[in-house]
Structure 1
Amino acid sequence: MPSPAPAPLISLTWTDHVTGTVGYLVVDRLVRGVSSGGLRMRKGCTLAEVTGLARGMTMKEALHFDPDGPPSRYVPLGGAKGGIDCDPRDPAAHGVLVRFLRAVRPYVENVWTTGEDLGLSQDLVDRAAAEAGLVSTVQAVHPLLDDETAARRRLADAFGVTVGGIGLDGLVGGCGVAESALAALDREGVAYSGTRVSVQGFGTMGGATARFLSEAGLTVVAVADVLGTIADPAGLDVEALLAARDAYGVIDRGTLRPGCQELPADAWLGAEAEILVPAAVSYAVDAVNQAAVRARWVVEAANMPVLPEAEALLAGRGITVLPDVVVNSATNAWWWWTLFGDIGPDAEEAFRHTRRSMRALVDHVLERAAAEGCTPRAAAHALVAERLPVMAERFGWYA
């Protein structure tokens, strides 16, 4: 039984004086005085959720730190997370976001680097940050850069890159998730052709994951958004669905081609597919509904989508969960690879680096899980437990 995670360094609750909306900031850990983690907005967001997400960010940073690996300009940061209990579609949401960022401005300026997460696009976060008087949502890391001007220009240029109508920043995370799934298939000797995929959530992460898996030759048979599940056993036209979604990942049903079935919202879970990709909300798979899962792999593109008791039951049925702290970590890492200068503002370079890094990480975790007879999550946790003390010794918490 793993020991409980230590209490976070900072945990605060904010109440909006205008609407009464509640928001949270949790800094789990610092490395060189800085932490990293996105800001989400969803109705029902809780302090416990944000605390768990912040701990997950600490793990993601540690997993991308290889003390024996090749030299890298990117030095891992600590983990943090922000969350606001508000529907992002609420007309008052933007004002709430601005006031939250204004309230936590000292943390963003000094210790917390942040960006888009569930319910928020980077453009929305950037606009709100500017209104709140912030230079950048990652300005806390600026003192760690060799050349701040060049680094900021490099990241801005990278955010201006599009591929197939989608921004590079909206694709790298899905590229990492897809590569994680492909690594699992390769390890088992499963051909891509004929392998079916069901995706919950068609926003940034879900949509990009579906694109990359489809491009690799897999068949996406089901996609779920807030309106329900769209399915076609013969395979969905992923590019057409991407073109038909709005800013919140909701697909225009009027564009669906003949043969597409409109099913209930939870139908994605029991789809006839080998790979299941929860890419929306946390806590999507619980001890009850896990019984509907028929897939061989559950690939966690979302943060904390599978509850621990559900994962244990899935493992008992021979279903492997590839954990979020591994497979969805590429978005965060891409920011830092680009800002610190390991890669430039180029899509193909970003995808190559993402695939290479994620393949090495997933292979390492799966090999350790096989050798120790444990789940991939337990293997990832063990790896983090080994790396965190090395990070602390080498870089310091507050240095």
Structure 2
Amino acid sequence: MSEPLVDARRQLADAVKILGYDDGVYANLAAPRRELAVSIPLRRDDGTTEVLTGYRVQHNYSRGPAKGGLRYAPNVDLDEVRALAMWMTWKCALLGVPYGGAKGGVTIDPRKYSVAELERVTRRYTSEILPLIGPMQDIPAPDIGTDEQTMAWMMDTYSVNSGHTVLGVVTGKPISLGGSQGRASATSRGVVHIALQAMSHLHLSPSESTAAVQGFGKVGRGSARFLAEAGVKVLAVSDQYGGVRSDAGLDIPAVERHVDETGSVVGFPGSVPIDNDALLELEVDLLVPAAVEGVIHAGNASRIHARLVVEGANGPTTAEADEILAGRGITVAPDILANAGGVIVSYFEWVQANQAYWWSEEEVEGRLAERMNNAWRDVLAYAQRQGLTLRTAATCLAVERVASAHDMRGLYP
């Protein structure tokens, strides 16, 4: 069993114990409702054929259709997808979004394939999981290694097989194909909404605070930009190739232009190099791990110096590290709360597609802020009332809501 799945089930077990539920509730919520592994034959551009493996896991759909991203990465496996699907269930329940959790993945390094090859992979993967997905069944979205183009291919493949255009089958689509205003930056904005709320709770003034952001992709790049716009001095950022640091604070718009020109933050003028591990251990007020899971672990948790960790990635902190950070008085805003902006605006996109009526960017961002800030207040109040960490409080709130839905619906047959 992979470490993310071990951590996800451990978090569930802790919540079940605190809530006083029996072993049957744990058993019901620890196992996915459905999971599918598929073979994806791919004809490469050079005429050769290889076979890739893809997955789709629906952890729970008691509160509504399943919802979750599609990840293209070389280390994707079934246990990782199971863990991510479970976290999506809690995220949706915590934010009051009427979905259950799902996740998909293909074991592939997309950087080693052409656009035409990635299109063939996406269309074949979509055709293989067709029985599981649909606007009222399971709605995929982008994740690591996928983007709005991937979602356009998925939507088209599903629509061709349905005989008519089905805009609501995926979210994270291009605006021209029924995507929502504000979707691309939603996760980053949500991270920063939670970061600013947590900083206020800890009496940290943005204009007098420093931050480091690990990951400069879909989540980290926007998070760094919005933090800088809020007045926070961003000292370091990194991507898969390395990182850069400036004690005077990085000019984030200039870093973004450098990334657009070179493909990496590495070599940004006026900065000094820093690797991903060292970035995590910088003496900053705020640390945003926005790359992959498991980067803060038992081996480095004692060297984390940030007062506040806001999880932009899914599962960046292991269970052992969580205990160490809590023991050292470091506040952790958990992933199921902090990075929920993406699923909130995905929900908004789905609602708009089903109504065939689209909202303005101002409407989307206003409703996103309202939901994120309300969820922060709910989690903080629960944590203070019960004497729990924010992660345990968030998980308990979510599990309670899902378990209640299970109980109300009953068991069939």
For this structure pair, what is the TM-score category when the shorter chain's length is used for normalisation? 0.7 to 0.9
TM-superposed deviation, 1:257: 2.9
Q: Equivalent of 2:131, from 81, 106, 117? A: 106
CA gap 1:291/1:121 in 2 versus in 1, 3 angstroms: same
Report how many aligned residue pairs link the two structures. 369
TM-superposed deviation, 1:80: 0.5
Q: Deviations over 1:12-46 (max 9, x none)?
A: 22222342322211101114662110101111111
1:170–1:208: 8 Å Cα contact kept in structure 2?
no
Pairing 1:378-393 to 2, within 5 Å after superposition: 378-392=392-406
CA gap 1:364/1:33 in 2 versus in 1, 3 angstroms: closer
2:214–2:290: 8 Å Cα contact kept in structure 1?
yes
Mean CA deviation greater in 40-49 or 349-358: 349-358
* Residue 280, structure 1, aligned to residue 291, structure 2: yes
Mean CA deviation greater in 46-55 or 384-393: 384-393
Match in the other structure for 2:38: 14
Instruction: Give the RMSD, CA atoms, in angstroms.
Output: 2.8
CA distance in 2, matches of 1:128, 1:8: 23
Q: Which amino acid aligns with 1:292?
A: R
1:62–1:384: 8 Å Cα contact kept in structure 2?
yes
Mean CA deviation greater in 361-370 or 384-393: 384-393
Q: Which amino acid aligns with 1:257?
A: P
CA distance in 2, matches of 1:33, 1:185: 34
Q: Secondary structure at the match of 1:303?
A: coil
CA distance in 1, matches of 2:227, 2:410: 39
Q: Deviations over 1:156-175 (max 9, x none)?
A: 5654x4xxxxxx32211111
Which runs of at least 4 in structure 1 moved beyond 6 Å after TM superposition?
152-155, 393-398
Pairing 1:34-183 to 2, within 5 Å after superposition: 34-65=65-96, 76-91=98-113, 92-109=117-134, 111-131=137-157, 133=160, 135-136=165-166, 138-139=168-169, 156=177, 159=180, 161=181, 168-183=182-197
* Residue 228, structure 1, aligned to residue 242, structure 2: yes
TM-superposed deviation, 1:281: 1.0
CA distance in 2, matches of 1:330, 1:397: 32
Match in the other structure for 1:164: none
Match in the other structure for 1:337: 348
TM-score normalised over the length of structure 2: 0.82
CA distance in 1, matches of 2:387, 2:407: 30
Q: Deviations over 1:284-319 (max 9, x none)?
A: 211102233110111111111111111111111111
2:35–2:58: 8 Å Cα contact kept in structure 1?
yes
Q: Secondary structure at the match of 2:56?
A: strand
1:29–1:397: 8 Å Cα contact kept in structure 2?
no
1:302–1:324: 8 Å Cα contact kept in structure 2?
yes
2:286–2:310: 8 Å Cα contact kept in structure 1?
yes
Gaps of 5+ in 2: 1-13, 17-25, 43-49
1:62–1:76: 8 Å Cα contact kept in structure 2?
yes
Q: Which amino acid aligns with 1:52?
A: A
2:62–2:406: 8 Å Cα contact kept in structure 1?
yes
CA distance in 2, matches of 1:13, 1:113: 17
TM-score normalised over the length of structure 1: 0.84
1:177–1:327: 8 Å Cα contact kept in structure 2?
yes
TM-superposed deviation, 1:153: 11
CA distance in 2, matches of 1:16, 1:344: 35
Mean CA deviation greater in 317-326 or 84-93: 84-93
Q: Which amino acid aligns with 1:8?
A: P
Gaps of 5+ in 1: 66-74, 142-151, 162-167
* Residue 268, structure 1, aligned to residue 290, structure 2: no
* Residue 377, structure 1, aligned to residue 391, structure 2: yes
CA distance in 2, matches of 1:268, 1:238: 16
Q: Secondary structure at the match of 1:83?
A: strand
Match in the other structure for 1:245: 259
